[in-house]
A and B are shown apart, each in its own frame.
Chain A
């Protein structure tokens, strides 16, 4: 009936066998991130470092070179100037040097007088380095506790093996997003933490849907070898994984292309994060289970399990 059949069903992809490839990809991503972190580091935004941001709209198209010279000569160190949106919009960033209140106000007034009167100030931000430090600490704490709480819940609802695999996948996702920031030198702001959280939330959702099916199949097919069972479960849920990834990606794409500056910048890591999250659920979390000895119930044959499926679907709520 449906008009669209882009998402196949009845797939029989051997994800467990392909784990050699997927693990290799993940290890490369993690190693690249670690390498980039130790050599390039993270391009922290002023949210974290402290500093100044001026977003101004000029009356006419600015001469960036001239503007850079004018502001560079003020003696506030490195000045980053960037035009965007309508060509009249300019983003100016200054790093913070001094702590004192007076110095802060001086920078504000000097830059303002250098830019002249014919400017509309769309956004002005001044952030002390202390605020940034707190932000990092709170952000890391929040993410760590959130991961821990989810780990506990999964361990309670499933077996501990599932929790371990889910968390490995989650940590992998967080590292991969961090890698996106460090390898491509994207500016790391407070919203980047939210992007990591969204990715983590999406990924855990995805992983649990697959784990749920594995748990169900473990009960149903008590004699089926684990590798085969995991493959079956991942393939059965593959259409759902792809569909949900598609709808979410559609939403993020809309944000990326039409959400305006700030939202657009924020959407890019989420866009990548959803792809990574789906990948890690299918190709990492599920195949990883083969390495941990998941407890199986005492075996009977599979056919019986299947019969009981249509059995309890015909419950008393249904009448024809």
Chain B
């Protein structure tokens, strides 16, 4: 008999049973899946081209945001230079000489003050890189200044912008009522937005085109009843200059809504806000710092004087994101909102404030929409082709290797079962090329068996007895199988690392297919062959 270590038998059986269990949710109806325990509810995700929906790729215009940011910093440069009594002309934001990055540029009236200017400006912000030098070799007496953000600061800023843009996109998509959207960053300046079940993304696109509008307004404390009825109408009396807006607070997973009566008059508008960052207040609790430009700072100071110890509202797109109380007069345009924030909440508030302060223009650079009928057709066609491929291969294997071919077919069935189980557990997304990859995997999965069987045949021709031929076949084919499959696996890993989109999905399918086929074709068929061989003394093999 062919002896296989007991632990191998147990492990192989366990893996196969696990495969059946975890692939099950893909076959039964949705209602039945719901009745399964939670750990068993995972199914293969269908890609948009299969289930129907819209796929949008958005590009964030980072250059414009950077330019806006520098424009808001102009103020500080102006103030600082004036304070030091350094004369300048032509202060503006312009593209740098390499035409890639924007910079604040100016020309000094008195070239000999270059050193003073350098010192004064460098003090303002550690992230600034200040450079003052002669315009050209011929004109030594014309000193030009250039202020840019350091590369690290730009990179950090870009990350924040992507984060805030994703948040804005999420809010817009929620506004449109789309279920289960997938929003993720891609590369340095892209966002992928997937909207399952949406066959006309017009509404979402329109909402995406809207820039975030941030305003600072007073709270009307005279309105006593700020509740809203089911139809969205305020329940109490509301004066004409006031409106009732919702304040949505997210605590953990729960969303809580309450309402605030906000005056319609805008005291300070969002474009006056330069920055919002998470900091710690004097008690060491998370807080959000606000920084306004000089005009905005003056208005905000006035507002804080008028509404001292009173509540005001920060409104983003008709939703109150925070309603703090002015604890003191804020004279210099640098305020701080503190409350019972967790770090995460403070982070989120800062994010929303920045989104309103520095709206990043989004451009739709790719749009793919698949209607539900095409998706359903693709699934149907894919299924039909895959089943047909299976039957063709199964029959071919039996014709070639008779009983041993049937053993390989058993392995092939489990190959598919395990592949679906793995795809479900990994929550991998099945795409159209993915279906093709599965069918191809089948063709290539039997390769390991072909290698083993051909080797067994060869050993029999070399005069080995059946049992020795089987052992020799499995042992000797092993190095070949490992070498050839490992090479392909390395290729798949590299594709996953460097590829995008469907190439990545394909790499996952390929890698899983190879790993699983090594298990089914080697371990599983050997187990089946050993069981079949039993204790008999066979003189020939049905191969």
Interface residues of A (CB under 8 A from B): 1-4, 7, 9, 55, 57, 101, 104-105, 120-128, 130-131, 134-135, 138-139, 141-142, 145-150, 153-154, 157, 190-191, 193-194, 197-198, 200-202, 204-206, 208-209, 212-213, 236-237, 239-240, 243-244, 246-255, 257-263, 266-267, 270, 309-310, 312-315, 317-320
Contacts and interface: CB of A to CB of B under 8 A. Distances in A.
Contacts of B537: 320
Contacts of B392: 250-251, 253-254
A308 to B, nearest CB: 12
A150 B388 contact: no
Residue of B373, B483, B492 with most chain A CB atoms under a 10 A cut-off: B483
Interface of B: 1-3, 49, 57, 59, 187, 199-200, 205, 209, 363-371, 373-374, 377-378, 380-382, 384-386, 388-389, 392-393, 396-403, 405, 432-433, 435-437, 439-440, 442-444, 446-447, 450-451, 454, 457-459, 461-465, 467-469, 471-472, 475-476, 479-480, 483-488, 490-495, 497-503, 506, 510, 537, 540-543
A253 B490 CA distance: 27
B475 A247 contact: no
Residue of B57, B365, B451, B501 with most chain A CB atoms under a 10 A cut-off: B365
Nearest to B510: A201
Contact of A310 (B364, B433, B463, B480): B463
A146 B494 contact: yes
B494 A142 contact: yes
Contact of B454 (A121, A191, A240, A318): A240
Given A122-B373, A149-B491, A204-B488, A310 B464 contact: yes
Contacts of B447: 205, 244, 247-248
Contacts of B458: 9, 236
A126 to B, nearest CB: 4
B498 A141 contact: yes
A135 B501 CA distance: 10
Residue of A9, A145, A191, A209 with most chain B CB atoms under a 10 A cut-off: A209
Contacts of B3: 317-319
B467 A251 contact: no
Given A128-B365, A244-B446, A254 B397 contact: no
B468 A318 contact: yes
Contacts of A239: 454
Contact of B369 (A3, A123, A246, A257): A123
Contact of B540 (A1, A213, A261): A1
A146 B367 contact: no
Nearest to B435: A263
Nearest to A100: B363
A273 to B, nearest CB: 11
Given A250-B389, A258-B385, A318-B468, A55 B365 contact: no
A200 B13 CA distance: 34
A153 to B, nearest CB: 5
Given A141-B498, A310-B463, A317-B471, A254 B439 contact: yes
B402 A2 contact: yes
B381 A259 contact: yes
B527 to A, nearest CB: 14
Contact of A254 (B59, B389, B479): B389
B443 A128 contact: no
Given A204-B491, A250-B443, A312-B475, 8 more contacts: A9-B457, A139-B499, A145-B497, A205-B485, A254-B386, A260-B380, A310-B462, A317-B3
Given A154-B487, A240-B450, A255-B389, A191 B433 contact: yes
Contact of A127 (B366, B483, B495): B366
A147 B363 CA distance: 35
Given A146-B491, A320-B467, A130 B381 contact: no
Contacts of A213: 480
A104 B56 CA distance: 13
Contacts of B476: 313
